[in-house]
Amino acid sequence: MAAIFNINAQDKSYLDKKKPIEERINILMKQMTLEEKVGQMNQYNGFWDVTGPAPTGGSAEEKYKNIKKGLVGSMLSVRGVKEVKAVQKIAVEETRLGIPLIIGFDVIHGYKTLSPIPLAESSSWDMKAIEKSAEVAASEAAASGINWTFGPMMDISRDARWGRVMEGAGEDPYLGAQVAVARVKGFQGDNTFRSPLRIAATAKHFAAYGFVDAGLEYSASEVNRNILYNQVLPPFKAAVDTGIRSIMTSFNTIDGIPATANQMLLRETLKNKWGFNGFVVSDWASVREMIYWGYSPDEKSAAKSAVEAGTDMDMEGGIFVPHLVSLVQNGQVKESLVDDAVRRILRVKFELGLFDDPYRFLDEKREKEVIGSKANRDAVLDMAKKSIVLLKNEKQLLPLKKEGQKILLLGDLAASKNSPLGSWRIASDNNTAVSVLEGMQKYKGNSLKYEKGIALTQEEPTFLTEVQYNTTNREGLEAAKQAAKDADVIVMVLGEHGFSSGEARSRTQIDLPGLQQEFLEEIYKINPNIVLVLNNGRPLAISWAAEHIPAIVEAWQLGTETGNAVAQVLFGDYNPSGKLTMSFPRNVGQIPIYYNHYSTGRFTNKDGNVFWSHYSDVDKTPLYPFGYGLSYSKFEYSAPKVNKKTFAKGEKVEVTVTVKNTGIYAGKEVVQLYVKDDFASVVRPVKELKGFEMVDLQPNESKTLTFSLGEKELGFYNQDGKFVVEPGTFKIMIGGNSADVQELTIELL
């Protein structure tokens, strides 16, 4: 191996595979200069894709020069075996110690073959499918030379205005933690990285980015301790317990302190209390941006605060390399902190096997075989079907009939091969999704009529441009209206463009953008037999449609296989089984709206006057609640039972419920269990998800499910961040969504 490395070290035994990793790190670090150590803490963006404001790392030439000097530990957004090899070779063969680069990339919902957007995937409540989807993403990225993803994002959010809700798993920390674990396992496998198709994962964004003020991107987050401990942190803790190898800080401040300089979060909680031994990367220039927040007076001070708090690597900020060496030499930053950061970064590089073979992810043959394989397409199709949520189905419009029904398909989005790919898909090619039109044509051939109707956008947007919706051009409406007269059923595909959500895509209105509401109402006047298929990256406010349109299918942005998945659901070859993981508001003014809210001292209007907690203009409940989703079948729940009504600490309570499929189709139901601590030292939410299970039932079949409840499910984090379980009564609720449950009471003595 030494031959590959061409290194100039005195003691090369850190290349000895047989030695334990910690010993190899010691041998290497003893020989590193302070400059080389700081170099490991520096990450540059690659040379073409940009995923943030203009890079600060200089020209490609300068970057190459700095790699050669050993001043770069990682690159992001370099991809493809050829390109990665070119930079890796410099690090390995031309630097004094030959320390390989770790290559990061935003593998968010697939690499080239795309899965549904993460919010959609979470709606499947199917952890095996989600794990598989991350595994497919990891394999394609790894085959392309990448060994570290900036995912999964596990920011809990209650604010559909925030564009990044598309990247997460919705509003609930219990489900969010399960999804986070499934994704980490999918990316990292068994954490040994023996397979060259697994990559290191990143839990992001640490922390509370999902609670940015008013859903405004890059704004502050003023969460309290209760929310931080009980809502924000649980998915991160679960990811750390699963062995995630890196954590990314968030852009926001929390209680006035930027996350990137947050000692309490990074040093005390993550590293000391949770014992995380991977490394922390900043977000893109978030070290530098502490100056613009008015927190760090200059670059030096930003570097000092970040490192002291526990940020180990500076992504594209260009702050550590120019300042850290002198800060240490002047005694302003302890060298032990730099050592700790470098040790963590090197640890992950060793674990990834980069010191054993820095080119192990760089195999052109594998690149060709793995990327876009049939198996990968099958896996993302499976994920896509499972992500669809049936919101309404009246007049038995769905499933559509394969024969003998005149079907009209309408909407710009129905024919789009680009928008269904969603946001965050830098490595995949534009226009590569199967459109809904193509998917439905497989069933109906040329007998399927299609009209575009009113255009969605003024022009096709990109990852870097703002989406401009069409608000003036009604061309196409007449033709659509004419065609509508003659159809038995009309499938209208409406919603947001795929680039309307994701980073830097906050919106203040979340109804159907552009002229689509008008389009929908115009067609409805002519023919009300409409199946509305929604494409969107966030909950939308669709009150009018919910009232008038007989069938509504939430189809998100489902990735490469979108059209096939949608068609299989519409024609009944897959019975929809998804359930919402974010509440859909009646209008934007209800945001933040979430099922696990607190009670209030005035929760009903039993006195018949106005002095109770409500809005004067709209029902305070969501349009569609958390956990909601229909099937072509119907499911009946028995009354739940417990094996004991009272129990002592340390004991478990078993809750059973029988679910029966009373419909005519085989189908799957996600059975949900919620808990409410009736009285506690800190007011507890009206209900919190603490268990769920998916049952697969034939018509007339029933199954009995058993949930086990213990301290883990019944406790909470108090104001000091301590997990406590307090005696008293608890309500246990079981049902098919958060608003439709049957309850019973148990008591902890």
Residues annotated as catalytic (active site), given as ranges = 283
Q: Which of 51/242 has CB closer to ligand NOJ?
A: 51
Residue 439 makes CB contacts below 8 A (sequence gap 6+) with 562, 563, 564, 565, 566, 567, 568
For residue 128, give the 3-state DSSP assignment: helix
Give Cα 213 distance to the centre of its chain: 19
Query: Per the structure block, which two tokens stand in for 15?
Result: 């290349």
For residue 633, give the 3-state DSSP assignment: coil
- Contacting positions for ligand NOJ (CB under 6 A): 51-52, 106, 150, 204, 283-284, 503
Helix 127-143 and helix 374-387, axial crossing angle in degrees, nearest 10: 140
Q: Which of 204/668 has CB closer to ligand NOJ?
A: 204
In 3D space, the residue among 193, 14, 161, 214 whose CA is nearest the CA of residue 100 turns out to be 14
Report, in Å, the least distance between residue 469 CB and ligand NOJ.
25
Which helix or strand (DSSP H or E) is residue 500 part of? Answer: none
Give yes or no for a contact between 68 and 76, defined as CB atoms under 8 angstroms apart: no
Give yes or no for a contact between 671 and 706, defined as CB atoms under 8 angstroms apart: no
Report, in Å, the least distance between residue 701 CB and ligand NOJ.
44
Q: Which of 72/565 has CB closer to ligand NOJ?
A: 72
Residue 303 makes CB contacts below 8 A (sequence gap 6+) with 287, 314, 319, 320, 323, 324, 327, 333
Report, in Å, the least distance between residue 213 CB and ligand NOJ.
17
Report, in Å, the least distance between residue 727 CB and ligand NOJ.
42
Report, in Å, the least distance between residue 503 CB and ligand NOJ.
5
Q: Which of 235/735 has CB closer to ligand NOJ?
A: 235
3-state per-residue secondary structure call for 392-449:
EECCCCCCCCCCCCCEEEECHHHHCCCHHHCCCCCCCCCCCCCCHHHHHHHHHHHHCE
Give yes or no for a contact between 154 and 121, defined as CB atoms under 8 angstroms apart: no
Q: Which of 85/505 has CB closer to ligand NOJ?
A: 505
Give Cα 198 distance to the centre of its chain: 19
Report, in Å, the least distance between residue 594 CB and ligand NOJ.
23
CA–CA separation, 343 and 694 (whole Å): 43
CA–CA separation, 518 and 499 (whole Å): 22
Give yes or no for a contact between 520 and 477, defined as CB atoms under 8 angstroms apart: no
DSSP for 76-117 reads ES--SHHHHHHHHHHHHHHSSS-PPPEEEE--SSBSSSBPPP
CA–CA separation, 140 and 108 (whole Å): 12
Residue 230 DSSP symbol: I
Q: Which of 168/513 has CB closer to ligand NOJ?
A: 168
Report, in Å, the least distance between residue 655 CB and ligand NOJ.
39
Q: Which residues face 635 on adjacent strands?
A: 661
Q: Which residues face 731 on adjacent strands?
A: 676, 745
In 3D space, the residue among 102, 73, 74, 45 whose CA is nearest the CA of residue 426 turns out to be 45
Q: Which of 50/686 has CB closer to ligand NOJ?
A: 50
Name the pairing type of β-strands 530-535 and 551-554.
parallel
Q: Which of 52/513 has CB closer to ligand NOJ?
A: 52
Name the pairing type of β-strands 407-410 and 449-451.
parallel
Report, in Å, the least distance between residue 103 CB and ligand NOJ.
13
Report, in Å, the least distance between residue 246 CB and ligand NOJ.
11
